Amino acid sequence: MSPSPAAPAQTPPPPAPPAYERFLALAELALDSAAHPWLIPLAQLFEAASRGVGSLDVPPSGDVAQPPPSLIVVDGDQMLLARSAAHWACVRSQLEQRLAQPPQRAEDDQVRQHLDRIVPAQRECGPDGQTLVDNAQQRLAAALLVDAPVGVLTGGPGTGKTTSAAALIALACALDPSLGAEDILICAPTGKAANRLRQSLHGAASRLTLRPAEAAIIAALRPITMHRALGWTPVPVESGGPWLHHPGRPLPQRLVVVDEASMADVGLLAALVSALGQQSRLLILGDRDQLDSVEAGGVLAELVQRGAAADLQPAQQALLCARCGPEAVEQWRAGLPPLSPAAASRPPLPGLVAGLRWSYRAKSAPWILSLADLVRPGSSQGADALLAFCERCDPQQITRCLQQRQLDSHCAQAWLALAQTAAAWNHQQLPDQEALSQALATHQCIVATNAQVERANALGQRLLSLAGAQPNPQQPPPIPLLAPATSARRHGSSNPAQRQGPLLHGTPIMVLANERALDLANGDIGLALGPGPGQQATIACFPNLPQPIPLARLPEHASAHAITIHKSQGSEWTHISIDLPHHAGDLLDRRLLYTAITRSSHHLAIHASHTTLSQICYSDRIY
């Protein structure tokens, strides 16, 4: 049993003052005035957009005595940049128009028969009556959204979003035998997310009961980036660009699935929904509590709010009961995420959303879910509750490292374990893909800043060098002493590979740029190998590639002993080590910490001060 969270009262720390200097200069240039009454609001919007925040509260009427300039659009109690406002208007109008059209529904009996075959009902309880396995919400999600013009499937880590999507695709193929792999587009905002989706989608299909034709279709699906799906070109907007696919030349696929939708900015989603064919169906997947896009986002969060803000219409309730049984409506309601006050800002969209609340990690690692709930955006819990929960957990579940040295030691053990595994491989004796994938999925250190990444990578490389020179391979080398990372450099210099020097055998590496010719995406992680331990690496092996690649042919890359939280999104490891700077400042918020914690499927080690956690818990900045 996971310990129950506590909720002691706390006094919030004073918020860190935001810095707007360079954005003030940009706003002054755009308005051609240093005394314009909307100068500060425009600078705040520019700064927010740099963090992926698309809108802010409108300033009090007494602060601005005239209407906003053309660069700013006021929407109710929110203000946003005109370009973002146009993208939002496009997304909302396109989706609302599709939802207003009467859907072409399949026969309920056929849906139920195929659903019972593809995803048989499964429920398992423990000795104390606690639910360990329950796929009812996955079944009803497929049943509700399979023939809907637009559907949103949301859920936290381990809830089975990809399995539900695979079930929906198989169900759609069973209901329409003319639907082939060429009629289905699977895409994601980034190349890394697309590559991971390819692996997880095929793994999910193995957990379903599929006919050979259905299995063949899912096996033939090749997830790609949204940019590649739309056909990005350098043609400017004024000349009809930048997309090959648009309303005049729509996408040919009849079923379009977008995964990791929280990472897609509003402009990219506007381009996608505008390029959908007249009869195309759209399925959007994602966790609304994870990080938003680098540019202005929040589309998934709004769609989830609007879809959960009203009950199913009578016809939708009857459909769901006919397909999944009389308890289906209550199960649908139980799957919805809690609403926030923002839910009332837009008209509800009944039946748009299916939620997955039950997580398969409740059986294997409930402590991860409990900690994630404490830091989830919207939670009222503070740093004291987080730390008290960590202290009550078994160290084999959650380890709190009070000193940097403790976390270094924890990471060093994991890095040396990977090095010992890699010692059996070299540039001639290559690992098989399953063994490589398992080795790289065992542990990852996640940090907040690039300065922390550089420090951890320097520590990891020094450790590999000492291990290679160790006379007795069974005796681990001493852990080098390194000064803590400073926060002076948030982004580092432009070429991490040049800063770190040659990579050694057994170094985990991350690709830092897309390379379509090699089927590599920004964020892919592999293992550098050479002749043996302590020697310079010459090749890199990746779990998704059948052949190694010479390091000289790789796009920009760097050691991945540690990666930032942003880079970790969309991935999962058995053990996670989280290292947070002493002063969070404007670097961290609940979404970032929630994303970091939910990368772990079993064990978590965290090094964070009470000050840092307090700043995170009381931050109102949404990334």
Residue with tokens 């990666």, as numbered in its chain: 563
Q: Residue 112: phi, psi to the nearest 5?
A: -65, -45
Higher pLDDT: 147 or 495? It is: 147
Give pLDDT tens digits for 111-162: 999 999 999 998 877 677 666 678 899 999 999 999 999 999 998 888 889 9
The pLDDT assigned to 315 comes to 92
Lowest-confidence region among 291-300, 368-377, 565-574, 607-616: 291-300
**Per-residue pLDDT band at 495 (split at 50, 70, 90):** very low
pLDDT at 16: 39
Q: Is the pLDDT confidence value at 321 over 70?
A: yes
Helix 404-422 vs helix 450-469: angle between axes, to the nearest 10 degrees?
50
**Residue 435 binned pLDDT confidence (cut-offs 50, 70, 90):** very high
Beta strands in 405-538 (DSSP E): 443-447, 507-511, 525-529
Q: What percentage of residues in the chain have a pLDDT greater than 70? A: 86
pLDDT of residue 585: 59
Mean pLDDT, range 584-599, rounded to an integer = 82
Angle in degrees, CA 570, 572, 574, rounded to 5: 170
Evaluate if residue 283 carries a pLDDT over 60.
Answer: yes
CA distance 148 to 112: 16
Which pLDDT belongs to residue 312?
92
pLDDT tens readout for residues 523-546: 889 999 999 998 999 999 998 788
Q: For the chain, what percent of residues have pLDDT higher than 90?
A: 48
Calculate the dihedral angle through the C-alpha atoms of 61, 66, 72, 78, rounding to the nearest 10 degrees.
20
- Tell whether the model's pLDDT for residue 4 goes beyond 70: no
> Taking a C-beta distance cutoff of 8 angstroms, is the pair 181, 131 a contact?
no
Q: What is the DSSP letter of 243?
A: B
pLDDT for the residue 344: 54
Ordered by where they begin, the domains of the chain are: 89-360 (3.40.50.300), 372-468+502-620 (3.40.50.300)
Decide if pLDDT at 481 tops 70.
Answer: no
Q: Virtual CA dihedral for 271, 277, 279, 285, nearest 10 degrees?
A: -40
- Residue with the bigger pLDDT between 276 and 53: it is 276
Residue 326 has pLDDT above 50, yes or no: yes
State the average pLDDT over residues 312-340.
90
Give every CB contact of residue 286 below 8 A, 6+ residues apart in sequence: 154, 161, 259, 260, 261, 262, 263, 300
CA distance 532 to 530: 5
DSSP 490: S
DSSP secondary structure, 259-306, as one string: -SGGGS-HHHHHHHHHT--TT-EEEEEE-TTS---SSS--HHHHHHHH
The first and second tokens of residue 594, run together, are 């929630």
Residue whose C-alpha is closest to residue 365's, from 604, 131, 126: 604
Spatial distance between the Cα atoms of 88 and 575, rounded to a whole number of angstroms? 39
- Amino acid 474: pLDDT: 58
Contacts of 132-138 with C-beta under 8 Å, sequence gap 24+, read 132/362, 132/363, 133/360, 133/363, 134/358, 135/160, 136/324, 136/327, 136/331, 137/331, 137/332, 137/334, 137/335, 137/354, 137/355, 137/356, 137/357, 137/358, 138/163, 138/164, 138/167, 138/356
Other CB atoms within 10 Å distance of the CB of residue 127: 5
**Prior bond to 242 cis, omega within 30?**
yes
Q: Give 293-303 pLDDT, tens digit per residue.
A: 656 668 898 89
